[in-house]
C-alpha cells in the first residue's frame, strides 16, 4: 500500500473481506477485491480461478462498474498465443464494445470470449465491455 500510514495498513490487514485470494498456485494467481469491483488473474497455464477460465497462459482483469457494465481485459505477456478463449461464470446481457481481435462472443448465463492470435500484439491489452445480466 504505497503511501499508506501505519494505521491505514493495520486497518486493511484487519479486514479479512477486503480481498479474496482466488488462486495462489504455480498454475494461476488471482484475487478478487469486492469493494473495487476488480478480479485479476494471471494464468501461467490454462485453467480456472474463481469465476474465470482461460484456455492458455494469459493475464485477465475484470472491472465491474456501478452502472451495470463491466470490462474484461486480456493480454498475452509472453507473446505466444495463436488464439485465446476466456469464460466468466457471470450473467451477461450483451457485448457493448468488442475489440478488433474478438473473434466470437457468447452471452447469457456466462460470458464466453474467443480472441484471434495475440502473439504479434507485443503483450498489449485487449478490452471488451459488456452489460451485466
The cell numbers describing 22, all together, are 482466488
pTM: 0.90
Q: For position 100, what pLDDT does the model report?
A: 92
115: nearest Cα among 69, 67, 59: 59
**Lookup result for grid cell 492470435:** 117
Q: Per-10-residue mean pLDDT for the chain, 133 residues long? A: 88 86 96 95 97 97 97 94 95 96 96 93 93 96
Q: For position 53, what pLDDT does the model report?
A: 98
Tell me the C-alpha distance between 28 and 47, whole Å: 8
Tell me the C-alpha distance between 114 and 39, whole Å: 19
The cell numbers describing 122, all together, are 507485443
The cell numbers describing 43, all together, are 494464468
Amino acid at each position: 500500500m504505497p503511501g499508506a500510514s501505519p494505521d491505514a495498513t493495520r486497518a486493511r490487514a484487519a479486514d479479512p473481506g477486503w480481498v479474496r485470494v482466488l488462486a495462489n498456485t504455480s498454475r494461476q494467481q488471482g484475487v478478487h477485491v469486492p469493494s473495487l469491483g476488480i478480479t485479476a488473474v494471471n494464468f501461467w497455464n490454462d485453467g480456472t480461478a474463481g469465476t474465470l477460465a482461460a484456455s492458455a497462459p494469459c493475464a485477465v482483469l475484470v472491472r465491474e462498474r456501478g452502472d451495470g457494465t463491466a470490462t474484461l481485459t486480456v493480454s498475452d505477456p509472453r507473446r505466444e498465443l495463436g488464439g485465446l478463449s476466456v469464460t466468466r461464470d457471470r450473467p451477461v446481457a450483451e457485448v457493448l464494445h468488442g475489440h478488433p481481435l474478438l473473434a466470437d462472443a457468447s452471452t447469457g448465463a456466462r460470458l464466453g470470449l474467443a480472441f484471434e492470435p495475440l502473439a504479434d500484439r507485443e503483450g498489449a491489452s485487449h478490452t471488451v465491455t459488456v452489460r451485466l445480466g
